[in-house]
Structure 1
Amino acid sequence: MSRLESMRRRLTAQIDGLNWAAEEIAPLSGDVLELGLGNGRTYDHLRERIPDRRIWVIDRVLKPHPSCIPPAACFLQGEADEMLIQLAKTGARIVLAHYDFGFGVKEKDVAEGARLSPLIAPLMVPGGLVVSQQPLVGFEQIRGPEAIAPDRYLFYRAP
């Protein structure tokens, strides 16, 4: 598969997965957490899809498209572990987390996901969802939308 085809497959899975998760969390209370802002595309999608939820964003740098800059009060800039600890101190309760961190090196990505998982878990409301392109630990892995190949995007439910 070409890299371009792989990108299309990833973006389709991301959109379908986030739309599915937004419907699944509808009866639950809580905020949303975008882990990795990048250009802001998924943040923009989330704020359009679930406009009634507060969306927290964590990233090392703030360099999104100008139309996708989160409110300053919801953007935590810095290393993810430090920012997750800071977010926990606010008392935020997360019903949907989108884990979009990655170096592009599988071993590093898996290690970072395992390292950050214990910092994400206490933020989650029971039954909340984590949608991730990286494997995480300490969550119940569940099947997402049927149209998404199980290895393309990962879905977890918080205990």
Structure 2
Amino acid sequence: MSRLDSMLRRFTAQRDGLNWAAEQISPVPGDVLDMGLGNGRTYDHLRETLANRRIWVIDRILQCHPSCVPPEADFLQGEAEPMINQLVQQGHKVALAHYDFGFGVKADDVAEAARLSPIIASVMTAGGLIVSGQPLVGFEELAGPKGIAPGRYMFYRA
């Protein structure tokens, strides 16, 4: 499979997975957390899909497309652990989280996702969902929507 085809499959899985998760959490109270803003495509989709929810965004630096800059009050700049802990300390709960952190080295990405899993769990609402490009630990793994190849994206319930 070409890299272009692989990217298209990843983007399609991400979009379809987020849309599925957004439908699943409709009765679940809480905010949304996008971990890894990047250029802002996912954030832009989340704010359109879940316009009635507050969307928190965490990233080390703000370097997204100008049309995708989150409100200053909702952008938490820095390392994930202290930013998630800040949300917890302020009493926020998350109904849907999207995990998209990565260094680009699979072993490092998997280790970081495992390390952050209990920290992510601390901010989640019971019954909330996590859509992740990396395997997480300590959550109930879900099948997710039909049509997404196993391992392409992972889905978890808190």
TM-score tier, shorter chain, comes to over 0.9
Q: How does 1:45-64 map to 2 (within 5 A)?
A: 45-64=45-64
Show CA shifts across 1:43-86 (max 9, x none): 00000001000000000000111111111111100011111111
Q: Tell me the number of residue pairs that the alignment of Structure 1 and Structure 2 aligns.
A: 158
2:134 matches 1:123: no
| Aligned counterparts of 2:26 and 2:14: Cα–Cα separation in 1 | 18
| Aligned counterparts of 1:37 and 1:23: Cα–Cα separation in 2 | 22
Taking structure 2 as the reference length, the TM-score comes to 0.98
> Over the residues paired in the alignment, what is the CA RMSD in angstroms?
0.6
Structure 2 counterpart SS, 1:86: helix
Taking structure 1 as the reference length, the TM-score comes to 0.98
- Aligned structure 1 segments of 4 or more residues deviating by more than 2 angstroms: none
Distance apart, 1:87 and its partner CA? 1.5
The residue type paired with residue 125 of structure 2 is V
Q: Counterpart of 1:144? A: 144
Q: How does 1:8-157 map to 2 (within 5 A)?
A: 8-157=8-157
Distance apart, 1:103 and its partner CA? 1.3
| Aligned counterparts of 1:77 and 1:129: Cα–Cα separation in 2 | 23
Q: What is the aligned-residue identity percentage?
A: 70
Distance apart, 1:33 and its partner CA? 0.2
Structure 1 runs not aligned, ≥5 long = none
| Aligned counterparts of 1:140 and 1:113: Cα–Cα separation in 2 | 15
